[in-house]
Structure 1
């Protein structure tokens, strides 16, 4: 569908469709701020509260060619997070097609609806399996992402199992936050939470007090669904993350050596972003029963 026809079909004074290189963009703007998304991966690329700086980070060298996910923003990881785990579906001939973090972030989503709800602007994306997706995930599903720009930015991911068998889901909003300096950055809200250190061979422990970021870092915090607060002191703000139906948090930064593996991320940019991810990972993965659905929600706001 052309940009012109989309703007006509989903006519709304707070929503505009446009083209950026190979990607279709959807911009939301109202009295509360601005948000920008692409239908490729249904990825949120920008969230600027009114009068504030962008909450999200996108690489200066990100690719918009529609062949690989844009580096940054909020990639959607579903129905698996990280490398594919055969426990999700069992080994099958499609395993060779299973890319990291699932199928959703590599696919073109459709816009299902655009509307104004109270003083918020809302867009719903929908993904149904096509032949390419079925190479990696042969079971039938429907996945929706609702993004609402109001006093906060809210994202709701709803997966529905339309097949005749159960499967296991792990998932995440793999959010890249824009920060003044990731080194030593404080994240509050995880005190007393069981922790898995992926860079230490999966060593387990319990978090004591606030988390202070060190580079590199990849830690998964389990069995906790409370709010998180990022102390972005250099920008004079706190970023508040609230969630529902999410029991895991993931903190990640590639560090000065790891960043060199990413051709679409400048080597010095690892200090300008930190991933604080709302997830259901490792043993927090859940069984999605045949005919059932599950909704995971994240809400972002800023105070400062």
Structure 2
């Protein structure tokens, strides 16, 4: 039986952002699962025509949604998530629901303390207006260029924006921004659960939205877990799952998953920076 791989997208993207990854993992014997967030539209065009469907979704609601998806699978999956999807992947792993987890440029959780200026600027289109907590917020091209596509050419940035960008719920960003002030926040990870399994964090060296300081702080929160915990840096921006360098990033994720599941001759290695 093929091992399921659940792909979780982040804000301003749809599950279709994982299509090439899903095909890549399927070709290597895995069973890709792309559930999307609750009520996600089918297409980017539909999403941009009806932004209201994204409003109001919280981290806890979405995490429970994916937990339900996993409960319906025939076997425990690998979980791969990007940005807020990377945060959700770590939450699910902390619940013991993942055989192995890859979090790419993951959004921060309670206990991750750095506040890089570039991250604040990336989140500003949402956080500068408190009313956005209950709204769906699109990005302009210039905002997308800074937050996602700063590491690619202008031409590629425009193509990525037209192909993938959709509105996003504001609530998760407000939750993340206040996580360290709220003991009851939904934006928390059980970093000590011995059932968490192996975890790889992939950081984009050119990422404005989740720079190395945030990814490394998330790694340090989890490095004492009994499961193997690794972090690597790649020369990409926040669009590392969708830009022209996606395959190299996917190969890095696949190599870790193969080792974690014993599908290669390599032993699990210690964390590498």
TM-score (norm 1): 0.24
The structure where helix makes up a greater share of residues is 2
The structure where strand makes up a greater share of residues is 1
- Between 1 and 2, higher relative CO (CA 8 Å, sep ≥ 6) is seen in 2
TM-score (norm 2): 0.26
Larger radius of gyration: 1
